[in-house]
Amino acid sequence: MTGVPGPTAAREQLPEATLCHLVDGDRTLLIRKQRGVGQGNLVGPGGKLEAGETPRECVVREVREEVGIDVADPERAGAFAYWADDWSAVVHVFRATAYEGTPTASAEADPVWVPVDDVPFDEMWATDRTWLPTVLDGGTFRGTFVFHADEPRYVDVDRGVNVPERGDVSATGRR
Ligand SMILES: COc1nc(N)nc2c1ncn2[C@H]1C[C@H](O)[C@@H](COP(=O)(O)OP(=O)(O)OP(=O)(O)O)O1
């Protein structure tokens, strides 16, 4: 894909995106992506940062656009940087426990509640299983992933670390 950061892009060149993992008692909200990056996968709601937007502003806006609810308390749970053949990104991950509204389908997303203790990782990005349990459990993490031919070839996750909203989220310092 022309103009899209691939596996050799420097960290500073990567587009930024967000994910929200909303926990409501013993269930957590995922979406079935209807288009865009990861179409067909189950994933947390979220999307790409717009110009001038902070990750927190982005995650609130994207959750509202995708599933029609307002998350009240998005808390930063970590971030990962990844490089793939046709897309690479820094993804900021938030956990939320309070919201207003009823999750509703949009053109981008079908909302799906799943049990916190039975998340369908087989239908998600392969690397989600390495960090999502930590997030659902209230912890923090930092991840670095390299994919080739849609398979994760390098996976590094630090748990219990706080990652600033701005700055290098790559555990390896790869730039
Ligand atoms: C390992 O890679 C990824 N893992 C997970 N769990 N989620 C990922 C990964 N790469 C991207 N994502 C998520 C992060 C964002 O929520 C979306 C970004 O893509 P999207 O195409 O949904 O962006 P939007 O701004 O919503 O879409 P439009 O451009 O159509 O407005 O994917």
CATH code of the domain covering residue 76: 3.90.79.10
99 lines ligand 1 (CB under 6 A): no
Among residues of the chain, what percentage have pLDDT more than 70?
A: 89
- For the segment 71-81, the average pLDDT, to the nearest whole number, is 96
Ligand 1: residue whose CA is nearest its atom 4: 125
79 lines ligand 1 (CB under 6 A): no
Looking at per-residue pLDDT, the higher value among 10 and 58 belongs to: 58
Distance 39 CA to ligand 1 centre (A): 9
134 found inside a domain: yes
Which of 48, 90, 142 most suits a substitution to test ligand 1, by most atoms within 8 Å of the C-beta? 48
14 lines ligand 1 (CB under 6 A): no
150 found inside a domain: yes
Q: Which domain holds residue 115?
A: 11-159
User: How many CA atoms lie less than 13 Å away from 114 in the CB half-sphere?
Assistant: 20
Burial class (CB in 10 A: 0-12, 13-18, 19+), 166: exposed
55 found inside a domain: yes
82 lines ligand 1 (CB under 6 A): yes
Distance 95 CA to ligand 1 centre (A): 16
37 found inside a domain: yes
155 lines ligand 1 (CB under 6 A): no
* Least confident segment among 98-107, 120-129, 144-153, 158-167: 158-167
Position 36 scores a pLDDT of 87
Q: Do the beta carbons of residue 11 and residue 90 sit within 8 Å?
A: yes
81 found inside a domain: yes
2 found inside a domain: no
DSSP-derived letter for residue 117 is T
Domain count, the chain: 1
- For the segment 97-123, the average pLDDT, to the nearest whole number, is 98
